[in-house]
Amino acid sequence: MAELPAWKNINFACIVFEPGNAREYLTGDWRSLRPERDDSKCVKCGECWMYCPDAAIYQDERGFYAVDYDYCKGCGICAKECAHGAIVMVEECE
Amino acid sequence: MARRVGLEVSIACSEAVTLANVDVIAAYPITPQTHIVEHLSEQVAEGHLDAEYIKVESEHSALSCCVGASAAGARTFTATASQGLILMSEIMYIASGLRLPVVMALATRTLSSPLTIWGDQSDVMSQRDCGWITIFCENGQDVFDQSIIAFRIAEDRRVLFPTMICMDGFHLSHVIEPVELLSQEEVDSFLPPYKPEYRLDPHRPLTMGAFTMPDYFMEIKKQQDEALKSTLPVIKEIWNEWGNRFGRYYQPVSCYKAEGAETLILIAGGFSGTAQIAVDRMREQGKNVGLLRLKLWRPFPHQEIRDAVKGAKLVVVVDRALSVGGQGGPIAAELRSSLYHLKKRPAVVSFVAGLSGRDIHIDQFVEMVERAEGHLSAGKIPDYEMFGVRE
C-alpha cells in the first residue's frame, strides 16, 4: 500500500485536480461475494453487462462477458438478472 | 469626507454589500433579516448593483446556490436568521469544508419552539462547530463596516473561509442609527475584486467535495481546523488596516475600563452597549468593574481572552443562548475551557439572560455583577443561572 499523505500535504480543501482519477481507487476489495460465470450456460446476451451498476463487466475477446474484479463490489445483480443461470456468487475466501 | 446618515441597520448592511459589489445574492426572506434582502433586491432591480439575485424556495437552496456560485468564482452573499440558519445547517459545513468565501449576515433570532420571532444568539450557537468565521457586531456602524470587511477576510488567500456577521435581531437590525457611509472609491481601495485561486471551470476541470474514506478524513479535518485557527492573525491584520484607513479599529476581544478591574462583564453583540452604561454607573459608585466585548466567536481568540481577564478576580459572562441540559451559556463554557489550564485564573459566573428578545436593563447588569460577587464571596459558584426567570 502506498504511503498516505500527511495532513499538510493534502490538497487545499481536498480538491481533486486530475479528472477521471476515480479509476485509481480499486473498489473490488470491498467484495465479499464473487460472481463466477459458467461458459457452458452463458449465451453472450449481455444482460449482466447492462445491469452492472459499476460498469465492472466487459466483453472479452471470445465474446463472453467477463468481470473486472478490480472494480466489482460483489453486489450480485448480474447473478440475479442472468436469465440463463450462468452466473453464481461464491464466497471470497482470501 | 464620509457621509454620516441615519439608517436602519439592516439597510446599512445592504448598502455595504452593494458597495462590496457582490456578484451573486441568493436569499430567502425571514424575520428579522427581511429588510436586508428586500433592500438588496431593490438595489439589483433598480440597477444600483450589477448582481444576480437568485430567488430561492428555501434557505437550504439559498446557501446551496451561494456554494455553487462561489465555487464558480463569484463574490457571493446571503442573509438569514433563526430557522433559516438551521435549515442551511447542512450546507454550512459544506461551504467551510470546501473553503468557499461566502459571506452571510445573520439577524440573530431565537430557535423554535416555542415559536418566536424575537432575538437572542441561539441560532449562532447552533452553528458553533460548522467552521465559519463568526463575528458579532455591536452597533450600526459596526454592521456597516463588517459587511465590507467580511469579504476581505473571507477572500484573503491566507483565509478562504465562509464568514458570518451577526447582528442582534430587532435590537440592532431594526433600529435607526447614525452610520458613516463610505464612497465607492474608498471601498474599492480596501476591497479588491475577488480573484479565486481555484474555481469550477470547464477549461480547467477539478473536483470539489469528493467522497472521502476513513484513511483521509481526519487529515482533511485537521487541515481545516489548523487553517481556521491560522486566520486569527489575518483577521486582526485586516481589522487593523481598516482602522488605519477609516479610523475605526476592531479587536477579537475589546476592553472597556477593563485595565486593573477586579470584576469583568463578558458579553457578545449589541447588548454590550447597555453593559457599558452599567459599568459606568458601577464605576461612579466606586466599584472596580470593567467590560469585555467578545467580537470574534470563531476562530475563538483564546490567547486574547486569557490576556484580557488576567488580572481579574471574577468574570461575569452574560450569554443570550442556553445549551439545554448542558453547561448553560456557550460563551461561559468556552471561557472556562480556555482558562482551565492556567494556574491563576478568575472565577467565572455564567448567566443566561435576554432570551428571545427579553431586554437586559442597566440595573439588571448591576444586579448580575452583585449576585456573582455574592457567589464568589460565599465560595459557591453555580454552573450557571438563568437570570430574571419568574419563580
If chain B, 391 residues long, is cut into consecutive pieces of 10 residues, what is the mean pLDDT of each piece?
A: 88 98 98 98 98 98 98 98 98 98 98 97 98 98 98 98 98 98 97 96 94 94 98 98 98 97 98 98 98 98 98 98 95 98 97 97 98 97 96 94
Question: In this structure, is residue A83 part of a structural domain?
Answer: yes
Q: B364 and B258 in one domain?
A: yes
In a domain, B174, yes or no: yes
Is A7 in Cβ contact with B219 (below 8 Å)?
yes
Any domain includes B391: no
Provide the greatest CA pair distance for chain A.
55
pLDDT tens sequence across A10-39: 999 999 998 888 888 899 999 999 999 999
Residues, chain B: 391
- Is residue A35, in this structure, part of any structural domain at all? yes
| Count of domains for chain B | 2
Q: What is the pLDDT of residue B2?
A: 67
Which of B201, B212, B223 to mutate against chain A (most A CBs within 10 Å)?
B223
CB distance from B72 to chain A under 8 Å?
A: no
Whole-structure pTM value? 0.92
Which grid cell is A57? 463487466
The amino acid that residue B172 corresponds to is: L
Distance from CA of A15 to the nearest CA of B (A): 5
Q: Which of A15, A16, A30 to mutate to test the interface with B (most CBs of B within 10 A)?
A: A15
Using an 8 Å CB-CB cutoff, list chain A residues near B216: 4, 10, 14
Same domain assignment for residues B240 and B257: no
What is the domain-level CATH number for residue B38?
3.40.50.970
Enumerate the residues of chain A whose CB falls inside 8 A of the CB of residue B101. none
Q: Is A9 a member of any domain?
A: no
CATH code of the domain in which A33 resides: 3.30.70.20
What residues make up the domain containing A73? 25-91
The answer on pLDDT for A1 being more than 60 is: no
Contacts of B98 (CB under 8 A, 6+ apart): A13, B67, B71, B208, B209
Is residue A19, in this structure, part of any structural domain at all?
Answer: no
Task: Report the pLDDT value the prediction gives residue B1, as an integer from 0 to 100.
Answer: 55
> Are B156 and B108 part of one and the same domain?
yes
Over the stretch B143-184, which tens digit does the pLDDT of each residue have? Answer: 999 999 999 999 999 999 999 999 999 999 999 999 999 999
B193 and B259 fall within a common domain: no
Classify burial at A8, counting beta carbons within 10 Å of its beta carbon; exposed 0-12, middle 13-18, buried 19 or more.
exposed
Last residue of a domain, one of B217, B245, B273: B245
Q: Is residue B71 situated within a structural domain? A: yes
Q: Which grid cell sits at B158?
A: 491566507
Q: Which of B245, B277, B306 is the last residue of a domain?
A: B245
Looking at the structure, do residues B376 and B276 belong to the same domain, yes or no? yes
User: Is there a domain that residue A12 lies in?
Assistant: no
Task: Clarify whether residues B264 and B237 are in a common domain.
Answer: no
The DSSP element (H or E) to which B277 belongs, if any, is: helix B272-284
Between chain A and chain B, the number of residue pairs with CB atoms below 8 A apart is 43
- Is position A67 within any domain? yes
Domain boundary residue, one of B210, B245, B280 = B245
Distance from CA of A9 to the nearest CA of B (A): 9
Q: Is B160 on the interface with A (CB under 8 A)?
A: yes
Instruction: Kindly state the greatest CA–CA separation across chain B.
Output: 70
B167-226 residues touching A, CB cutoff 8 A: 197-198, 205-210, 212, 215-216, 218-220, 222-223, 226
Same domain, B197 and B68: yes
> Are B225 and B262 in the same domain?
no
In this structure, the answer to whether residues B225 and B285 fall within a common structural domain is no
Q: In total, how many domains does chain A have? A: 1
Residue B273: Cβ within 10 Å count: 16
Q: Is residue B376 part of a domain?
A: yes
B284 touching A (Cβ < 8 Å)? no
Kindly list the residues from chain B whose CB atom is less than 8 angstroms away from the CB atom of residue A19. 205-207
Contact between chains at A10 and B206 (C-beta distance less than 8 A): no
- Contact flag B210-A14 (C-beta cutoff 8 Å): yes
Residue from the list A4, A7, A13 with its beta carbon closest to the beta carbon of B222? A7
Tell whether A13 is covered by a domain.
no
Q: What is the ipTM of this complex?
A: 0.87
Shared domain for B71 and B185, answered yes or no, is yes
For residue A2, is pLDDT > 80? no
B109 contacts B124 by C-beta, under 8 angstroms:
no
Which of B93, B100, B197, B206 to mutate against chain A (most A CBs within 10 Å)?
A: B206
Is B201 part of a structural domain of the chain?
yes
Q: How far apart are the two ends of chain A, measured CA to CA in Å?
A: 17
**Domain check: are B236 and B358 in the same one?**
no
Print the domain residue range for B366: 253-386
C-alpha cell at B226: 489548523
CATH number, domain with residue B309: 3.40.50.920
* pLDDT tens for each residue of B185-241: 999 999 999 999 999 999 999 999 998 989 999 999 999 999 999 999 999 999 999
CA distance B290 to B189: 37
